[in-house]
Amino acid sequence: MGGHKARPYVYIFYMHIIDTHAHLDHLENLDQALKNAVESGVEAIVAVSMDLNSCRKNLEIKKNTRQPKIALGMGMHPSEANRQDVGACLDLIRANAGELSAIGEIGLDFWYKWVRKNQAKKDEQREVFRAFLEAAKELDLPAVIHSRGAWRECLETAQSAGVRKAVFHWYSGPVDVLNDIIKAGYFVSTAPSVAYSPQSREAIAGAPIEQTLIETDCPVRFKDPQTQQEYQAEPRDVARTLKAYCVLKQMDEDKALAVLNKNAREFFGITN
């Protein structure tokens, strides 16, 4: 079989770029990914958690990592929501509040039909979500919200809980909900899919850069729009998000990065 081999993606060095959403505890080769991140100019990574065990692992990662900076989020992802572990997870959060930059990843996910039809599962997600929103308010920490298929309900629940700061991570929902998220003073983030996904592009196009963050959601797999090949994201791929975001918004990369970094530092309390 003939044909040309796809050329590997060339990473551009961006000084002080920040990945605001990564599942570091899920990376197969964490040490290499962190090394790649530093060599690509990644200053900080927000490590979010999926469940109780994930919270424990990410706490250890934060304690054992010097570069890049690790900003820690603890919480329970809606796909892992279970009442049994909520108390232990909240105890861990309160015991390590000084180490935290966020409560997350938390939220609701009604994307799949089997979940939408399962009232007990939806109610459990709602109960767990509210418990962590209360912790975010109590500790005055930002909430990192997963809202797929439940965008409006997540917004209304966060507002009713009195959460001051929230980011709707990898937002790909309706524009009318986006507008209300922005009006509420909350943020949205976008991922490498902004390079090719119509939903991601439409959703983020209407968000002001002053209320936008960039992320990878690694180790999620994305598509390289140039080669059409899939790749498994790691923190350095936040550079891909930045580049695609700037193409969509027709913005200068350096100017956009200055604003996006300022957003991330202020939102998560990341110091230089």
CATH superfamily of 17-268: Metal-dependent hydrolases (3.20.20.140)
pLDDT in tens, 110-140: 987 777 888 888 999 999 999 999 999 999 9
pLDDT for the residue 255 = 97
Q: Which of 184, 44, 166, 25 is nearest to 103 (CA)?
A: 166
Q: Which of 46, 42, 47, 34 is nearest to 12 (CA)?
A: 42
Q: Which two tokens stand for residue 192?
A: 């490498």
Q: Is 212 helix (H, G, I), strand (E, B) or coil?
A: strand
Distance of CA 40 to the CA centre of its chain: 19
- CA-to-CA distance for 104 and 146, rounded, in angstroms? 9
pLDDT band, very low/low/confident/very high, at 3 (cuts 50, 70, 90): very low
Summarize the confidence of residues 78-82 as an average pLDDT.
94
Distance of CA 17 to the CA centre of its chain: 15
Q: Is 9 helix (H, G, I), strand (E, B) or coil?
A: coil
- CA-to-CA distance for 132 and 161, rounded, in angstroms? 10
The two most distant CA atoms of the chain are separated, in Å, by 62
pLDDT for the residue 48 = 99
pTM for this prediction? 0.94
CA angle 242, 248, 252 (to 5 degrees): 60
1 has pLDDT over 60: no
Q: Which of 192, 238, 229 is nearest to 8 (CA)?
A: 229
Summarize the confidence of residues 63-81 as an average pLDDT.
97
8 has pLDDT over 70: no
pLDDT for the residue 115 = 77
Domain parsing of the chain, residue ranges: 17-268
197 has pLDDT over 50: yes
What are the residue ranges of helices labelled H in the chain? 30-39, 52-64, 83-95, 113-116, 119-139, 151-160, 175-183, 198-205, 238-249, 253-268
Torsion of CA 81, 87, 90, 95, to 10 degrees: -150
Q: Which two tokens stand for residue 149?
A: 């298929």
Q: What is the DSSP letter of 49?
A: -
Q: Which of 108, 192, 187 is nearest to 147 (CA)?
A: 108
